[in-house]
Chains A and B, each alone.
Chain A
Amino acid sequence: MKKYILLISFVSLFSGLGFSQSDYADSLMKGAIKRMEKIPAYVCDIRVLLDVEWINIKERTGKVYFYPPDSINYEIKGFAFLPKTGYNRQVNAITENKYTALHLGKELVSDVSCDIVKIIPSDIESEVVLGQFWIDKNLNIRKMTIITKDEGSYSILLEYGAEKYAVPRKVTVTFDIKSQELPATMTGDVESTEDQKPLGEKSKGSIVIYYSNYVFK
C-alpha cells in the first residue's frame, strides 16, 4: 500500500511539474505573439545580402511594406532572392492550430538571456513538424528554428534596435539548399563541368536583411 502511495505521489508530482512547465512556455509564446501583434503597419528601408555558395548576387536595397498581421511587400531595385515568408508568418503558422509548448531552460542568444520554448504542433498533417523559439525578457523572439515536412529546416536570428515595437534591425535566415544543375540545352553551358558540386548536394545558405528608417503608420 505504501508503495502505491509513493508511486501515485511521484507521478502526480512530475505530471504537475510538466503541466506548469508547459503553461510557462505557452505564456511566453503567447506573450511574444501578442507583442508581435501590436506591430502596426510600417514601411522601412532594407539591405539584402545573400550567401549561397553557387548563387552570385550583389547586395540589393529597397523598401519593405508590412501590413498586420503578417503581410509583407517588397520593393526592390532589380532582381532579388528573399526569404519565402516573413518571420511573423512563421510564428503564426506554427501557433495558429493546437500545439504543445515545452520550456527547455535558458540560453544566451547574441549575449541576451533567453528562454527556450519548443512548440510541437498537435496536427500530424501540419507542414511544420517542430519549432523552437528563444524569447528574451521583453518577449522579443531572438531566434527561431523551424523544421518542416517538405522544405527542410531553417533558423532565423533576429537582432533588435531601439524601436518601440518588436521590429528587428537585422534578420539572418539560415537554411539548407541543394545545388542545382540545369540541362545545357537550357543554359547554353556546354563546357565540361567537372569542378561543379554533385547535383543535389546539400549546403547551408543564408540571407541577411538589415532594416532601417522605420516609419510606422
Chain B
Amino acid sequence: MRTLLKIELYKILKRPRTYIGFGTILLIVFALELAFFAEGETLIGLVFQNLSSVFRLEGKIITVNFLTYMLLNVLIIHVPILICLVTGDIISGESANGSLRLLMQRPYSRMKIYMAKWLTGVIYTIALVLFLGLVSYLLGYLLFGNGDLIVFRRGVHVFETTDVQWRFFGAFGMGILSMMVVASLSIMISSFTNNSIGPIVGTIAILIVLNIISTVAANALQPVLPYVFTTHVIKWQYFFDSSIDWGAIQMGVIVQSAYIILFTAIGLINFKRKDILT
C-alpha cells in the first residue's frame, strides 16, 4: 500500500495541473492582501461606516487574523474547483491514456489501488488547504502584523489574539473535511468515466447546482438541507461565533464524514467491477 501511495504521489507531483491550484491560491492571496495593504482603509471604511458614526474605533482592524479569515471564504467556491482539477482526473485520466490497464497488471488488489488514489487525493486536498492557510498567514503577518480578529457574522464579534489560534485550527480542520467530501465525490465520478473532463465538470456542476438550490429554495428544502453536504461547507465559520454551536459542528462532521464514506464506497465498488477496456 505504501509503495502504491508513493507511486501515486509521484505521479501527481509530476503533473503540471497539480501546481495550478497552488499557483491560483498564491495569486488570490497576493491580490487580496496587496489590495488591502494599498487601500485597506477605504475598503474597510464601508464596513465600519455605521459603527464609526457611533463609536471611536481604537486599534487595528486589518490584521493577519482578519485577512486569514477573509481568505478562508475561498473554500466555498474556489478551492473545490482547484481540487476537482486534480482529483477528478486521478482515475479517468489514467483510464484515458491507458496507464490504468498497466497498473492493473501489477500484483495489487483493486481496492488497494483505489484507496491509494483516494489517499493521494486527500493528501493533495489537505496540502492545498494548508497552503492557503500558510500563505495567507505569512504574507498577512508580514504586511499587517498580529492583532485582534473582527468578524461580521450575525453581528460583530471581536476576538483577542490569544483566543484566535484554536478557532483557526478548528476552521481549517472543518474546511479540510469539506474539501475531502469534494475530493471523494470527484474521485468517485472519475471511477465511472474514461475521460478527464467529465469528472471535473461533473463535480463542479453538482457543487454549483446544490449551492444554488440550497440558497434559492432554502425555505422549501429546510428539512432536507441538513443532510446535503454543501450545506456544511460553511460550517468552519461557526468557529468564529462568540458562543459556538457545537451541535451544528458535530452534525457537519457526521454528515460530511458519512458522505466521504458513501462516495468512497460507491467509487470503490464501481472500480472493483469496472471493465478496463482502454
Residues of A within 8 A of B (CB): 53-58, 74, 76, 78-85, 151, 175, 177-178, 180, 182, 186-193, 195-196, 205, 207
Contact = CB atoms under 8 A, between A and B. Distances in A.
A190 B154 contact: no
Given A83-B55, A189-B152, 20 more contacts: A53-B155, A55-B155, A56-B158, A57-B156, A78-B147, A78-B161, A81-B58, A82-B55, A82-B58, A151-B53, A151-B54, A175-B54, A186-B46, A188-B73, A188-B76, A188-B234, A188-B237, A190-B215, A190-B234, A191-B234
Nearest to A182: B152
Nearest to B72: A188
A53 B155 CA distance: 8
B179 interface: no
A79 B59 contact: yes
B61 interface: yes
Interface of B: 46-47, 50-51, 53-61, 69-70, 72-73, 76, 147-148, 150, 152-158, 160-161, 215, 218, 234, 237, 242
B55 A189 contact: no
Contacts of A84: 54-56
Contacts of A83: 55-56
B54 A76 contact: no
Contacts of A151: 53-54
A163 B223 CA distance: 62
The residue among A80, A83, A196 with the most chain B CB atoms within 10 A of its own CB is A80
A182 B151 CA distance: 11
B178 to A, nearest CB: 13
A79 B58 contact: yes
Contacts of B156: 54-57, 180
B124 to A, nearest CB: 24
Contacts of B70: 188
